């Protein structure tokens, strides 16, 4: 058993991008396990127990700062990636094989932006804790928790194994959608008047997420269906990544149906 685990560990070590091997939190997967275990313990056990006999905390100002910070961070990462080879014309939207040996400053800069995306995904775990501290337990859904955990792990895996131009397209799409989403949250936190103005746009955030997942799946297909010289690491990544996107799409569609379509139908009946 120990030898099998060792062999699997060696396979993953050999597939990794050596350029990030000594970067902070990039050398091992164990920090991710520690983060996920701590996160789940906090949101399902420790914080609910802590809040049991307490009133909900008023975190309005903290959440506003958090949302504004997320908007800013998403915009910075998009700009960082665009200026790391995209606007210079070094990359294309189609097949772009990985080059683990490249020491080109733009290629390293692109990798660094992916590491910072991973850090950003770690900070997003705070959202669930805000829900619990405000006693919004109904918002700690399976979709919410799975989405945050899976995106953090995907961000780490991307930087560790396939940090190149092809996944950066997905990252920029994701950051754009998240910038819109956090803008909505920021405005909603400004009070009832703002909420009344922007509430009609709320369903469109979920639709935008689903459009994003569809575009991601479309972009993942050409390397599998055409003669694209992608390495084994990317193929393995896609084997796990594609089902994850499909599952998220399904979960978001279920949420959209339950939260918005039923409400619309009930209003028509009234």
- Which residues belong to the active site? 147
Q: Which of 229, 139, 153, 160 is nearest to 20 (CA)?
A: 160
Contact at 8 Å (CB) between 66 and 130? yes
Q: Which residues, in sequence order, are CB contacts of 10 under 8 Å at separation 6+?
A: none
Cα 109 to Cα 13, 82, 94, distances in angstroms: 22, 10, 21
DSSP 57: P
Cα 72 to Cα 42, 78, 117, 186, 257, distances in angstroms: 27, 10, 12, 12, 31
């Amino acid at each position: 058993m120990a030898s099998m685990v060792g062999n699997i560990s060696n396979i993953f070590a050999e597939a990794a991008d050596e350029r990030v091997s000594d970067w902070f939190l990039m050398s091992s997967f164990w920090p991710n396990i520690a983060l996920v275990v701590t996160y789940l313990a906090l949101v399902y056990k420790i914080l609910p127990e802590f809040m049991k006999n307490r009133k909900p905390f008023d975190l309005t100002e903290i959440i506003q700062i958090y949302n504004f910070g997320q908007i800013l961070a998403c915009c910075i990462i998009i700009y960082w990636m665009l200026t790391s080879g995209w606007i210079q014309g070094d990359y294309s939207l189609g097949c772009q094989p990985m080059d683990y040996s490249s020491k080109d400053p733009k290629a390293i800069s692109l990798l660094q932006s992916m590491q910072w995306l991973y850090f950003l995904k770690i900070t997003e775990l705070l959202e669930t804790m805000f829900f619990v501290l405000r006693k919004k337990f109904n918002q700690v859904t399976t979709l919410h928790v799975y989405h945050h955990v899976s995106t953090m792990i995907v961000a780490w895996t991307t930087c560790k194994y396939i940090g190149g131009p092809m996944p950066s397209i997905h990252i920029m799409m994701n950051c754009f959608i998240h910038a819109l989403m956090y803008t909505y949250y920021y405005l909603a936190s400004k009070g009832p008047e703002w909420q009344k103005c922007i509430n009609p746009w709320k369903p469109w955030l979920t639709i935008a997420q689903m459009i994003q997942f569809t575009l991601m799946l479309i972009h993942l297909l050409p390397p599998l269906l055409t003669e694209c010289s992608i390495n084994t690491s990317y193929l393995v990544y896609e084997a796990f990544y594609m089902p994850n996107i499909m599952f998220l799409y399904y979960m978001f569609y279920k949420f959209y149906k339950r939260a918005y379509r039923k409400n619309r139908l009930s209003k028509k009946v009234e």
